[in-house]
Structure 1
Amino acid sequence: MRLYFSFFIGLLFSLSTYAQIDAKNKSIAIPAVKSKDSIDANPLLPSKPINNNRNINNINTPRTSTNLNMPKKQFSMFPEEEFGNPGELYDKRINKSLDHLKLSEEELEMKNGSTTDQYFGDYKSKAKFVNVVYRDHGYVDGDVIQVLVNDDIIHARVFLTGGFKGFKLDLQPGFNKIDFLALNQGESGPNTAEFRVVDDKGSLISSNRWNLATGVKATIIVVKE
């Protein structure tokens, strides 16, 4: 009886094991089927037209212009007509220098001022005194002179204006040398002035003009008899 029961149990165990192995070897793959509900669950959002409104969330965005006028030529700080030719500026400087060679000595003196001291002569007079006056005979541009008598400074700095001004000079027996020293050439140059020397009776003793470079002087002598 026990032998029969043991045999029966072993047979059931063998059949169960075989059935598991057979079921594992004969499994069938079932293909997945897409569900219609899963497709329609998240439908694509419809596209919206582009909003051309420049106001987004109360912020104004810049408008893009398609009609930009681009410059036709590159900007330059220097005039094209002056520097178009690289050698043009050099030629102008050479020609400007050559202009001085075409001027006479008198013309150069008028333009740049005399670089040598000017002597306007000596004059005899029986007057007790003379009035010496001077002015800028050209454009009033800041010409300044120094006045000396017998090498003594009478007026250290005199600004020349368009009107005559000057001083009274008591004549000493013999030579009375009057020097006008150009201290500058003003803004336009040279140092230009007109002077007059008038005796105590109002008679004109001498009158002349000068065009001086800085540091050059003009001289007149009055000899008292």
Structure 2
Amino acid sequence: MKPILVVFILFFSGSMLQAQVENSTSLRIDAKNNEETNKFSLSKGLNTSNSEKDLNLFTSLRDSLGFNRTQRPFSMNEDNGLLDPEAEATPRWFKKDADIAGKGEMDQYFGDFKSNSQFIHLVYRDHGQQDGDVVRIFINGDIIKSGAFLTNAHQRIKINMVKGLNKIDILALNEGESSPNTAEFHLYDDQGIMITANQWNLLTGGKASMIVRKD
């Protein structure tokens, strides 16, 4: 009886062990299949998200660059935001010439001055638009410069002083391309000290005059 019972127990144990092995193998296969299925689904989801991001990025770039918008041609007559409203349309020296145009005088007298210098320097230049003004310079009626062409650069002429009155006359020979004949001048003694300074605005034939007295 006992040998039959032992055989029966062994047979039953073997059947149970085989059933566990089969169940274990089945579960591993299912887990592997599920894992592969999940991986496939996850990958598909990520690809879809990337595609949506790429599409949104392209849409943003398209809108920022102004694609499919009506472009107006550039016009020099319109204010496209490039014009500076504070910029001067006319150069200042042209405005200055325009202000004095037609206001020239036949003669200007700049006054009497005193100096005991051995000589004086007359420094002059066209302070407006350089337009071809020409003058003639006299001292006590004598010509010391027959034709001085005025430029924007300073020019200098030395005038020897005599005792008594030293009258300087500047005669406008023309009015250049822009009326009147204009210039600024400075008068210095032999020590470089300025005696006077002013501007002339002369019509053709007009004179700018001043007197320097020497004791």
Q: Give the match's secondary structure for 2:158.
A: strand
Q: Which amino acid aligns with 1:162?
A: N
Match of 2:155 among 140, 153, 165: 165
Distance 1:195 1:165 in 2: 9
Distance 1:108 1:174 in 2: 40
Post-superposition Cα deviations, 1:2-24, rounded to whole Å, max 9, x if no partner, equal xxxxxxxxxxxxxxxxxxxxxxx
How does the TM-score come out when normalised to structure 2? Answer: 0.53
Q: How does 1:106-185 map to 2 (within 5 A)?
A: 110-185=100-175
Corresponding position of 1:211 = 201
Q: In 2, are the aligned partners of 1:109 and 1:211 still within 8 Å (CA)?
A: no
Corresponding position of 1:65 = none
Distance 1:146 1:209 in 2: 16
Q: How does 1:15-94 map to 2 (within 5 A)?
A: none
Distance 2:176 2:98 in 1: 17
Alpha-carbon offset, residue 152 of structure 1 = 0.8
Bigger proportion of residues as helix: 2
Alpha-carbon offset, residue 109 of structure 1 = 8.7
Post-superposition Cα deviations, 1:172-209, rounded to whole Å, max 9, x if no partner, equal 00000000100000111110001111001110001000
Residues 178 and 224 of structure 1: CA distance in aligned 2, closer, same or farther (over 3 Å): same
Post-superposition Cα deviations, 1:104-135, rounded to whole Å, max 9, x if no partner, equal xxx99922143331000010011111111110
Corresponding position of 1:89 = none
Runs (5+) with no aligned partner, structure 2: 1-96
Q: Identical aligned pairs, as a percentage?
A: 50
Q: Which amino acid aligns with 1:174?
A: G
Q: 4+ runs of 1 displaced by more than 6 Å?
A: none
Post-superposition Cα deviations, 1:135-172, rounded to whole Å, max 9, x if no partner, equal 00110000000001101111111100111112111110
Distance 2:206 2:99 in 1: 12
Residues 189 and 123 of structure 1: CA distance in aligned 2, closer, same or farther (over 3 Å): same
Q: In 1, are the aligned partners of 2:106 and 2:205 still within 8 Å (CA)?
A: no
Residues 221 and 108 of structure 1: CA distance in aligned 2, closer, same or farther (over 3 Å): farther
Q: Which amino acid aligns with 2:124?
A: Y
Structure number with greater Rg is: 1
Q: Give the match's secondary structure for 2:100.
A: helix
Distance 1:136 1:220 in 2: 19
Q: Which amino acid aligns with 1:158?
A: A
Distance 1:128 1:176 in 2: 12
Q: CA RMSD in A?
A: 1.8
Aligned residues: 119
Q: In 1, are the aligned partners of 2:162 and 2:214 still within 8 Å (CA)?
A: yes
